[in-house]
């Protein structure tokens, strides 16, 4: 039993524990705005989803840039700084907190950023 738990803990520890240097959460105020989010590895695809997994995936506008917009959030990334994601949130006039999830594909894994706006 002890060996099984040890092996299970090894599998649980595989993968990036640092989210590729990207923050795990970004918070915007109700006024919206733009934030630069930096990591240690570049993302070749960026996806924005809601809690249910519905969303949009980035389209390469040119060979050197990515852009994706879903609901109230837009993300842009341009070479040579693909390790920086420019996140722009529209103003929140709903009076309610809203949340989206950003997944940046790095190699065969993903950085995940929870984006909250009050």
CATH number where 45 lies: 2.60.40.10
Would you say residue 9 lies in a domain?
A: no
Would you say residue 98 lies in a domain?
A: yes
pLDDT of res. 84: 94
pLDDT of res. 21: 96
pLDDT of res. 82: 75
Question: What stretches in the chain show pLDDT beneath 70?
Answer: 1-16, 60-62, 80-81
pLDDT of res. 63: 74
pLDDT of res. 15: 53
pLDDT of res. 81: 66
pLDDT of res. 3: 40
**CA nearest 72: which of 108, 44, 99, 37?**
99
pLDDT of res. 78: 85
- pTM score, two decimals? 0.83
**CA nearest 39: which of 22, 19, 18, 62?**
22
pLDDT of res. 112: 97
Residue numbers of the domain that contains 113: 19-117
Number of structural domains found in the chain: 1
């Amino acid at each position: 039993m002890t060996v099984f738990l040890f092996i299970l803990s090894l599998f649980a520890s595989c993968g990036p524990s640092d989210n590729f240097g990207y923050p795990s959460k970004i918070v915007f105020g109700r006024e919206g705005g733009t934030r630069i989010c930096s990591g240690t590895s570049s993302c070749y695809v960026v996806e924005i989803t809601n809690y249910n997994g519905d969303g949009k995936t980035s389209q390469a506008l040119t060979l050197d840039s990515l852009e994706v917009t879903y609901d109230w959030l837009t993300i842009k990334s341009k070479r040579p700084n693909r390790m920086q994601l420019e996140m722009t949130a529209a103003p929140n006039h709903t009076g309610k907190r809203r949340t989206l999830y950003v997944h940046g594909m790095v190699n065969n894994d993903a950085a995940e950023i929870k984006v909250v706006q009050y």
